[in-house]
């Protein structure tokens, strides 16, 4: 009996290897490609969504905007046409989550600095404090690459509406005026059609790795 198995040992090994290869090929063919969801307002935590938007279930896109960046230049949706971009909300005097978020945005910037398809966009939630001069200094201190990453300020109502009605990432404070808000740690991934494709914890290094993977996935979409 042992002689029989010894005689066919090589054949058995070859058959086993071929079986593994065939199974792997079949699995790769049958396994569906991962597709990022398109986020609609009704899919997001209601605390982060303006009450007028909470029941919207389709066709949600980031609307046109006009803000001013760290170089005093007007930034609009046109600057992001046919681009994948990561957006967040911050303020320069924040000492809690903002430094971590900014560090992670810089990490993303460095990963995509040679990729013309990907940009970054950070909105100040304290525009009266964060004027162009302050944003310019902040950008310099944090190593912002101007062509990749806009830090923007502007009309507070517009920024509030972008946060609550467009990107769906801010809670209302409720005691300091009609446009007061508390920004969250969320990074938002926006595709080339101005649709939200992902939310990520901007303070979590693991979430940043997932975000970078999802950017690569979006780049493959047609």
Domain ranges across the chain: 1-31, 41-219
* Cβ neighbours of residue 179 closer than 8 Å, sequence gap 6 or more: 156, 157, 160
Walk along the chain (222 residues) and give the pLDDT tens digit of each residue: 545 445 555 554 545 545 545 554 454 444 467 899 999 999 999 999 999 999 999 999 999 999 999 999 999 999 999 999 999 999 999 999 999 999 999 999 999 999 999 999 999 999 999 999 999 999 999 999 999 999 999 999 999 999 999 999 999 875 557 778 889 999 999 999 999 999 999 999 999 999 999 999 999 997
Name the binding residues for Cu cation: 94, 98, 183
Distance CA 183, CA 97 (A): 10
- Strand 84-90 vs strand 118-124: parallel, antiparallel, or unpaired? parallel
pLDDT confidence of residue 109: 98
41-219 CATH, one of 3.40.30.10, 3.40.109.10, 3.40.720.10, 3.10.129.10:
3.40.30.10
Distance separating alpha carbons of residues 64 and 52, to the nearest angstrom: 18
Structure confidence at residue 207 (pLDDT): 98
Q: Which residues line the annotated binding site?
A: 94, 98, 183
Contact 172, 68 (CB under 8 A): no
């Amino acid at each position: 009996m042992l002689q029989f198995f010894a005689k066919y040992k090589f054949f058995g090994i070859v058959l086993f290897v071929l079986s593994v290869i065939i199974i792997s090929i079949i699995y790769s063919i049958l396994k569906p490609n991962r597709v990022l969801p398109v986020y609609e307002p009704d899919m997001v935590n209601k605390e982060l969504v303006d009450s007028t938007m909470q029941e919207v279930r389709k066709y949600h896109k980031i609307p046109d905007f006009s803000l001013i960046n760290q170089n005093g230049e007007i930034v609009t949706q046109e600057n992001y046409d046919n681009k994948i971009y990561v957006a967040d909300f911050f303020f320069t005097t924040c000492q809690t989550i903002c430094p971590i978020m900014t560090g992670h945005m810089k990490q993303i910037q460095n990963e995509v600095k040679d990729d013309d398809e990907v940009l970054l966009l950070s909105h100040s939630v304290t525009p009266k404090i964060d004027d162009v001069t302050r944003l310019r200094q902040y950008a310099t201190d944090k190593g912002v690459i101007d062509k990749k990453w806009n830090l923007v300020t502007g009309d507070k109502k517009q920024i509030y509406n972008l946060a609550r009605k467009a990107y769906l990432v801010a809670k209302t404070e409720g005691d300091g005026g009609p446009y007061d808000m508390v920004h969250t740690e969320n990074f938002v991934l926006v595709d080339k059609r101005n649709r939200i494709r992902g939310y990520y914890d901007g303070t979590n290094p693991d979430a940043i790795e997932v975000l970078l993977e999802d950017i690569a996935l979006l780049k493959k979409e047609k």
